[in-house]
Structure 1
Amino acid sequence: MDAEEESTVHKALTAPEPNDPAKPAWPWQIPARSWRYVLRRTWSEFWYRHILDNAGNLAYMSVQSLFPGLLAILAGLTLLGQGTAAVEWMIEFLASIAPDAVVDLVADPLRQLARAAGADWVLGIALIGALWAASGYVAAFGRSANRIHGVVEGRPIWQIIPYNLLVTLLMLVFGAFVLLVVLLSAGIWEVVLDYLGLDDGPLRALRGNRWVVLAIASLVAVLALYRATPNVRQAKLRWSIPGALFAMGATVLAIVGFSAWVAEFGRLPASYGIVGSFIILLLGLWIMNIALLIGVVLNAEIERARLLAGGFPAERELLVQPRNTRMIQARTAEEDWLAERAGELRGQATGHSQPSRRPRKSSDGSPS
């Protein structure tokens, strides 16, 4: 058991409950000087936790998950007879907010996805493949969030894989909803509303509040990612909102600024062609994941401020309870067994037998 695993097991035994009554129950109960400390510590943890490197890993996982996820969404829209139209509206929307290089990069693959999704048998394969591929991003985000909180994954694999797949499915549903809200094609929504047996009242409401609905849906998706992925028992929902709001705001500002820079000064597409376009896409995903991870750090430091305000010794270690430590204990037992077998092999090589330390069982099966 290494130091991080030992610390995680120790936290499971000693860390206070997420909603311990000694902690502040509302953000305004945290002193102002504690908020200044939160910001200073967030800046420090940003560098100490290697957020830039972790965001690069997540950007790669984002690319792996992007097109399978879009294929599943487009397959669903194809069932409504709007797959090809949705792609064209999507490309038109991207052209209004993203650099031309990014639009050129994704336009042809999106059209090919729409044609592939037209086959009925593709839908099942697309959904299964998209869930599995996109769950890689969810799992990677959970590992990054664990490192930020100072814990390691302890949930059994037969629990965490279905859990990640469920979270991924919810994220794809949110993605489809956000896509419909952003595009807001009357043709698509008329089919959806007719299928649900509703009138066009919701469509008129969405037309008037498109960006509000988009912001709320995005906030819910980020909160789901923050609360569901790490091996950490969470406090009440209100304590996750500050980091999620920061992540959303920082992402919008960073992407707008980055798009303006690419439009005015960028030379990558002209110099490198489609490779330059792909680099721009990766940089955009990297910036987005930096913002998401800073939001996790901010929430973790707010939790530290709650612990300190409650009198808990969280100066150096963030005292949060892990959800599960079963796999840590299983790995420790396996490492001990392997070390004992290695000792026996070394003893045979040197001529000095190294007896196993594993407890032997008597004839009745009890350890002796």
Structure 2
Amino acid sequence: MSTPAVWRLALRRAIHGFVRHRGIDAAAALTFFSLLVLLPGALAVVSVFAIFDDRDRAVDDLVAILDVVLPDQAARDLEGVLRELLSLGNPYLALAIALVLVLWTASGYATAFGRAVNAIYEVEEGRPFWAFRGRMLVVALVLTLLGAILITVLFGPGDLPLWAILRWPVLLAFAVLFVAVLYAYTPNVIRPHLRWVSVGSSVAILIWIVATAGFALYVRLVDHGAIYGSLGGVIVGLLWLYLTNAALIAGVELDAEFTRVKQLASGEDVARTLNLPVRDSRRIRMLGRQRRADIAAARELQEDAE
């Protein structure tokens, strides 16, 4: 099969899979979990500013950063909230609590993402809760560190002309690593020949860049503050998070279909389901035993009624 034919088949099946696996619903659920991460994340950032920076200047710095990514006046609307948060009596305690909450909510996001990927690869989640959530806590720690680096690179000082240029390839490299960790370590499948840069992750990042640019233009043209008032910034943020998660789900679909194409080329019968090993099947066996016990109890009740 020629390369254009392979791409056409993979793209067509990925689009169909996005619809069949309810990618829109998965992106909406992931947006909710993303929002849960942002709340303690904001508290952590504010606490760091309160510890290491002059508090009045910290508010000005944070508002200046938010003014870059939020619509007009949205950052100013948050200025009072930021001043109140920066007046924390014990910022060290606030930072500790915020970091614990970030890890727990980020592990919730990783858990939800893993289930979405399982649906795409059409496998059951076989890891027991303690093993699954424990693994997701480790993944969350890695993602939190990568996210902190991404934020630092993106919003850090760009006064040096050389760094102003180099920050973008550095940002792209860490974004690729962030997506690769999500794709590789959250689902219950083991990808053969794991690659940090896959077709799906590359397309997902490209879709995200294009969608972000288009969304930024949309935000510039539409005055959300006049329509939604002080909630305009929140709504814009949620829409951007939704586009981000939809792009990530689309990338997984594409990776799954390119894996299918490779298996088809090797002679495997994977037209319906992929042939990939699972990490764990203990939960699947447990649920199977429970289901058989439920069926047996239902039949016993039916026999007694007769």
- Classify the TM-score, shorter chain: 0.7 to 0.9
* Alpha-carbon separation, structure 1, partners of 2:185 and 2:287: 23
The structure that has the greater radius of gyration is 1
The residue correspondences of 1:278-297 to structure 2 (distance < 5 A) are 278-297=234-253
- Which of 22, 41, 44 aligns to 1:69? It is 41
The residue correspondences of 1:60-209 to structure 2 (distance < 5 A) are 60-76=32-48, 79-81=51-53, 88-100=60-72, 103=75, 108-116=80-88, 119-185=91-157, 206-209=163-166
Kept after mapping to 2: 8 A contact 1:117/1:123 = no
| 1:40-83 C-alpha deviation (Å, 9 max, x unpaired) | 22222222222112111111111122111233355456554478
Kept after mapping to 2: 8 A contact 1:181/1:214 = yes
Change (3 A) 1:318 1:77: farther
Kept after mapping to 1: 8 A contact 2:176/2:196 = no
The DSSP-based 3-state class of the residue aligned with 1:315 is coil
* Alpha-carbon separation, structure 2, partners of 1:105 and 1:229: 37
Change (3 A) 1:84 1:325: farther
- Identify the range of structure 1 (279-288 vs 334-343) with the bigger mean alpha-carbon deviation: 334-343
- Which of 191, 196, 199 aligns to 1:234? It is 191
Unaligned runs of 5+ in 1: 1-28, 188-202, 353-368
Kept after mapping to 1: 8 A contact 2:211/2:243 = yes
- Which of 303, 307, 313 aligns to 2:263? It is 307
Query: Percent of aligned positions with the same letter in both sequences?
Result: 33
Please name the residue that 1:14 is paired with. none
Change (3 A) 1:80 1:267: closer
Please name the residue that 1:247 is paired with. 204
| 1:6-55 C-alpha deviation (Å, 9 max, x unpaired) | xxxxxxxxxxxxxxxxxxxxxxx984422221122222222222211211
Kept after mapping to 1: 8 A contact 2:51/2:91 = no
* Alpha-carbon separation, structure 2, partners of 1:223 and 1:85: 37
Unaligned runs of 5+ in 2: none
The residue correspondences of 1:40-79 to structure 2 (distance < 5 A) are 40-76=12-48, 79=51
Q: How many residues end up aligned between the 2 structures? A: 306
Change (3 A) 1:81 1:294: same
How many angstroms does 1:111 deviate by?
5.0
Please name the residue that 1:220 is paired with. 177
How many angstroms does 1:210 deviate by?
1.1
Please name the residue that 1:198 is paired with. none
* Alpha-carbon separation, structure 1, partners of 2:192 and 2:57: 43
Change (3 A) 1:346 1:306: same
Kept after mapping to 1: 8 A contact 2:63/2:76 = no
Change (3 A) 1:322 1:107: farther
Change (3 A) 1:114 1:80: same
- State the AA in 2 paired with 1:327: R
Kept after mapping to 2: 8 A contact 1:102/1:281 = no
Change (3 A) 1:78 1:147: same
- Which of 290, 294, 302 aligns to 1:338? It is 294
CA RMSD of superposed structures (Å): 2.9
Q: How high is the TM-score relative to the length of structure 2?
A: 0.88
